[in-house]
């Protein structure tokens, strides 16, 4: 085995070891945030902090990619790589705090399985399918997939009857883009194709792969938070205290939350309009947002929506109470 091949194998092993270290660091911290009530409550309301961490991570990653001198300064390059990874991990805390442990682990393993699969495929593609040679075709394909993903994202936001199918197509399109680049970078790391990465860029190669994994995994939070397929309904051991805290906060203005919980009250009044008699029912009931993920999609307001518009009652002069109000209208004599 010649010296060049030994150096390339050493480079590949170090790169994948760094990727494994990044992923272990990420999953451990995400599980800690999800398991401990204090961290859940802290990061659930820390959107600005997580957003700032994400922006800083992107800026530092751009510097790391574009400034070659920074990548090759010993000690500094390792510290900067660690900071970039840690900032990205923290930026997801605001999402992790809204989901459950089975969801985090389940989707992590699924994404990791696909990640390893496409790494293996990329390394073993025949030389006639050298992605480093046909990189122009690759970019054209990814551009088309980005157009498809944007289209279905807009469909998801504005055509509710397509939910969640439109988001699934959006997620699949972006995931295919990410996995295509995973295969491309697997070939550049292996080094037996037309183009290859420098043996000195171990940290850069590992950071690129880590970001590609994050693209795919971050998209799964839509399913983790809204549908929770991996979390059974009776799963409450690790989340019950958070739910009770939510109830306590909703009833804080009414004294003791266990003895003086306000009972739902219903007020009905008959109205006569041009279309005939109708009954208008106003139901006052606490609509509690779970302090963990919601098993069903939730519009974020606690207000029933009809034709995409929230129903409100501008003529209601009753005293305001800190409970959500649900208003529904139905014809008299109907159920």
Compute CA 104 distance to the chain's CA centroid, rounded to the nearest angstrom.
Answer: 10
Predicted pLDDT of residue 198: 84
Check residue 136 and report its DSSP letter: H
Let me know: does 50 contact 90? Beta carbons within 8 Å. yes
Is 0.95 surpassed by the pTM of this model? no
Rounded CA separation 175/165 (Å):
15
What are the residue ranges spanned by the domains of the chain?
3-238, 260-331
Supply the angle between the helices 202-219 and 47-66 in degrees, to the nearest 10.
150
The encoded tokens of residue 135 equal 């990189």
Q: Where are the alpha helices (DSSP H) in 67-159?
A: 68-71, 76-91, 93-96, 101-124, 135-158
The encoded tokens of residue 21 equal 């270290």
Predicted pLDDT of residue 128: 79
Predicted pLDDT of residue 13: 92
Predicted pLDDT of residue 235: 64
The residue with tokens 């272990």 is: 24
> Per-block average pLDDT, block size 10, for the chain (335 residues)?
77 93 96 90 90 95 91 90 96 93 94 95 85 86 92 85 81 93 90 82 93 95 88 58 41 44 44 45 38 39 35 43 38 41
Query: Which one, of 242, 229, 271, lies nearest residue 41 by Cα?
Result: 242
């Amino acid at each position: 085995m010649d010296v060049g091949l030994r150096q390339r194998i050493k480079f590949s092993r170090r790169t994948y070891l760094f990727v494994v270290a990044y992923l272990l660091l990420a999953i451990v911290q995400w599980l800690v945030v999800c398991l401990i009530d204090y961290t859940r409550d802290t990061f659930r309301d820390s959107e600005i902090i997580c957003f700032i961490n994400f922006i800083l991570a992107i800026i530092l990653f751009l510097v790391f990619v574009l400034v070659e001198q920074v990548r090759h300064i010993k000690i500094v390059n390792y510290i900067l790589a660690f900071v970039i990874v840690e900032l990205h991990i923290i930026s997801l805390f605001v999402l992790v705090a809204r989901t459950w442990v089975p969801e985090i682990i389940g989707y992590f393993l699924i994404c990791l399985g696909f990640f390893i699969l496409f790494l293996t495929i990329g390394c073993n593609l025949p030389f006639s399918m050298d992605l480093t040679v046909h990189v122009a075709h690759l970019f054209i394909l990814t551009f088309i997939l980005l157009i498809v993903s944007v289209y279905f994202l807009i469909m998801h936001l504005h055509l509710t009857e397509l939910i969640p199918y439109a988001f699934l197509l959006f997620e699949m399109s972006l995931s295919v883009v990410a996995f295509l680049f995973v295969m491309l970078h697997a070939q550049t790391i292996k080094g037996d194709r037309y183009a290859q990465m420098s043996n000195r860029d171990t940290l850069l190669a590992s950071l690129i792969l880590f970001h590609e994994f994050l693209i795919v995994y971050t998209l799964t939070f839509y399913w983790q938070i809204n549908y929770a397929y991996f979390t059974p309904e009776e799963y409450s051991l690790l989340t019950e205290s958070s739910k009770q805290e939510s109830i306590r906060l909703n009833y804080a203005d009414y004294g003791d939350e266990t003895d003086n919980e306000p009972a739902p009250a219903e007020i009905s009044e008959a109205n006569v309009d041009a279309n005939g008699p109708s009954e208008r029912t106003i139901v006052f009931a606490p609509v509690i947002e779970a302090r963990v993920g919601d098993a069903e999609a939730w519009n974020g307001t606690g207000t029933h929506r009809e034709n995409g518009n929230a129903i409100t009652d501008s003529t209601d002069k009753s005293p305001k109470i800190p409970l959500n109000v649900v208003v529904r209208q139905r014809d008299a004599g109907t159920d």
